[in-house]
Structure 1
Amino acid sequence: MTSRAFVYILRAVERGAFPKSRKWAWKRLYNILSRTWRDSDWRFMNYGYMPAGDAFALTAEDEPERAFIGLYHQAMAGLPVEGARVLEVGSGRGGGARYIARYMAPAAVTGLDYSPETVRRARQLNADTPNLTFEVGDAEALPFADASFDIVVNIESSHCYANVPAFAREVARVLAPGGCFTWADMRASTMIEGLDRDLGASGLVLESETNLSPGVVSALDAVDERKMSRIQKTAMMRRFLKEFSGAKGSILYGTLKSGAVVYLARRYHKPLA
């Protein structure tokens, strides 16, 4: 039953059906997860990324999160982060924003999430990082002034939004001229044309696109045992959590591996004039 329901949800997302209802449902789901999944060693909710031969330095404390941090490492690599004002939209439990704040010397990092419970959890988990703050807010109506940030990050979050073009326009608004928007998320292969239109609504200039799918599958393989060990401790929704988390044998794992779903990374910049 859970698998059939999950297939129905995926097909509804692909058709663009019920956008406001889906947005409300995602918010409810993340509120529930943040109340029930309270482990202090889980700062991430993404699928991860582990490309072959891509090594980067981490402290012993952060090494267990390498697979998840990989999505943020690829998103920020080569960008002028030092001294920059960074915004992460859809910051979840805060692990990615924390990685940027602790390793890349930005002036400040702001994490924004639609789920109040998740923001509360992120503040608790990342209180040891002084140049990092978290706020509750809507990706489609960002609560920031024009040109407030030099870099906007959005990792594995935009599939939850009701209006991606509105989000893209908001990103362009809060970016300073010359700023960068770095994005990564999954879409069914049939949705890529629509994605081009949605993100293109920003007026930002596309610089690059990378298919991350093989490295994402590698990350899912690497963390599967740890993930399933935690899911087995959950009293309810085990089958749903297996599907939701992309565990081996799940529908999303299979579609990522087959190419029916593609995990993409893109970078855009805002022209100086």
Structure 2
Amino acid sequence: MASRLFASVLDIATPGKFPRAQKWVWRRVYNLLSLFWTDADWRFMNYGYLPEGEPFPLKPEDEPERVFIGLYQQAVAGLPVEGARVLEVGSGRGGGSRYIARYYSPSSVTGMDYSPDTVRRARRLNDDTPGLSFENGDAEAMPFGDESFDIIVNIESSHCYGDVPAFGREVARVLKPGGWFTFADMRPKNQLTALDEHLAVPGLELVERRDISARVLAALDAAEARKSERINRSWGMKRFMSEFSGSKGSMLYKGLKNGSVVYVARRYRKL
């Protein structure tokens, strides 16, 4: 039953299929999750990324979140973050914005999310981090002035948007010339061409494109035990949460494994 319910939610929320309903559905899903998943030690809601080779450095207190932090580490590694004004669009519970603020010495980090309940929770969970703030806002009509940020980060959020081209235009508007836009998200394989077309807006130059599906799957496997322990305590939503979180056997996990769903990373530079 829960799998059929989740499949129905995914059908409604497929990018571009029902744009008016799509944002409404995702906003309420994330508001519900914000109320349901109240653990203070969960600052992330992404699938994660487990790089090959030598592990990147983390403080001991951040080790439990390593696989989820990995998506942010790969997103900003090598970018000129020190002293930069950073915006994360779709910041969720705020763990990614907190990681960037604590490890990369930006001048400021602003996390923006469409869900007011999620913004309130992010503020509570991350109020120990200087230079970090959270705002409620729409990715398709951002509440910021032109050329306000040096770096824009967007991680596992764009699949919720009703109008991805409008999001791309907003990124180009609020990003300073020479600034960077770093993006990661999943799509059905047959929607990858459309995704690249949607983000090919005037003023943004595509610099790097990668398929990171294998490393996301590795992260899902590494996080399985911890997620399962938490999901098993949610008797009323256990199956739905298993599907939503990408647990083994879920529709999304199977899609990533068989290649029908692809997780991509992109970097763009503002001309």
TM norm structure 2: 0.97
Inter-partner Cα distance in structure 2 for 1:51 and 1:67: 9
How many residues are matched? Answer: 271
Which residue identity lines up with residue 173 of structure 1 in the other structure?
Answer: R
Structure 2 match to 1:267 = 267
Cα displacement (A) at 1:6: 2.7
1:177-205 per-position Cα deviation (integer Å, ceiling 9, x unaligned): 00000000000000011101111135400
Distance 1:149 1:113 in 2: 16
Kindly provide the amino acid, as one letter, of the partner of residue 85 in structure 1: R
**Unmatched 5+ residue regions in structure 2?**
none
- Offset at 1:33? 1.1
TM-score by length of 1: 0.96
**Cα pair 1:14 1:191 within 8 Å, conserved:** no
Letter of the 2:129 partner, please give it: T
Cα pair 2:171 2:181 within 8 Å, conserved: yes
Quote the Cα distance in structure 1 between the aligned partners of 2:9 and 2:33: 18
1:202–1:72 Cα change, 3 Å: farther
Runs of 4+ in 1 over 2 A off after TM superposition: 4-16
SS at match of 2:61: coil
Residue type at the aligned position of 2:235: A
Q: What is the identity, as a one-letter code, of the residue corresponding to 1:209?
A: R
8 Å Cα contact 1:14/1:188 also seen in 2: no
SS at match of 1:133: strand
Q: What is the aligned partner in structure 2 of residue 149 from structure 1?
A: 149
Q: 1:202 to 1:139 in 2, by over 3 A?
A: farther
Letter matched to residue 45 of structure 2: M
Which residue of the partner structure matches residue 22 of structure 1? 22
Contact 2:85 2:106 in 1 (8 A): yes
Residue of structure 1 equivalent to 2:205: 205
Using the alignment, how far apart are the partners of 2:202 and 2:155 within structure 1?
17
Tell me which amino acid in the other structure corresponds to 2:181: F
* Aligned equivalent of 1:162: 162
The change in CA–CA distance for 1:29 and 1:9 in structure 2 (over 3 A counts) is closer
Aligned residue runs from structure 1 range 63-78, under 5 A = 63-78=63-78
RMSD: 1.2
Kindly indicate whether the alpha-carbon contact (under 8 Å) linking 1:149 and 1:175 is maintained by their aligned counterparts in 2.
Answer: yes
Q: Distance in 1 between matches of 2:202 and 2:228?
A: 39
Partner of 1:129: 129
Paired residues of 1:3 and 1:243 also in contact (CA < 8 A) = yes
For residue 61 of structure 1, give the secondary structure of its aligned residue in structure 2. helix
1:53 aligns with 2:53: yes
- The equivalent residue for 1:120 is 120
Encode CA deviations 1:142-195: one digit per residue, 9 max, x unaligned: 000000000000000000000000000000000000000000000000001110
Counterparts of 2:261 and 2:140, CA distance in 1:
24
Quote the residue 2:180 is aligned against: 180
Q: Is the 8 A contact 1:171 1:202 kept in 2?
A: no
Following superposition, the deviation at residue 51 of structure 1 comes to: 2.2
2:15, 2:159 → 1: CA distance? 12
Match of 2:166, as an amino acid?
Answer: A
1:51–1:214 Cα contact (<8 Å) kept: no
CA contact 1:123–1:133 (8 Å) conserved in 2: yes
Q: Distance in 1 between matches of 2:44 and 2:54?
A: 20
Q: How far 1:120 sits from its partner (Å)?
A: 0.5
| Structure 1 residues not aligned, in runs of 5+ | none
Q: Is 1:19–1:162's contact at 8 Å kept on the other side of the alignment? A: yes
Per the alignment, in what secondary structure is the counterpart of residue 138 of structure 1?
A: coil
Give, in whole Å, the separation in 2 of the partners of 1:118 and 1:238: 21
Evaluate the alpha carbon distance shift between residue 123 and residue 163 of structure 1 in structure 2; reply closer, same or farther with a 3 A threshold.
same
Distance 2:200 2:211 in 1: 18
Amino-acid identity (%)? 63
For residue 167 of structure 1, what is the amino acid of its counterpart?
Answer: F
| Aligned equivalents of 1:187, 1:156: Cα separation in 2 | 10
Deviation at 1:13, TM superposition (A): 4.5
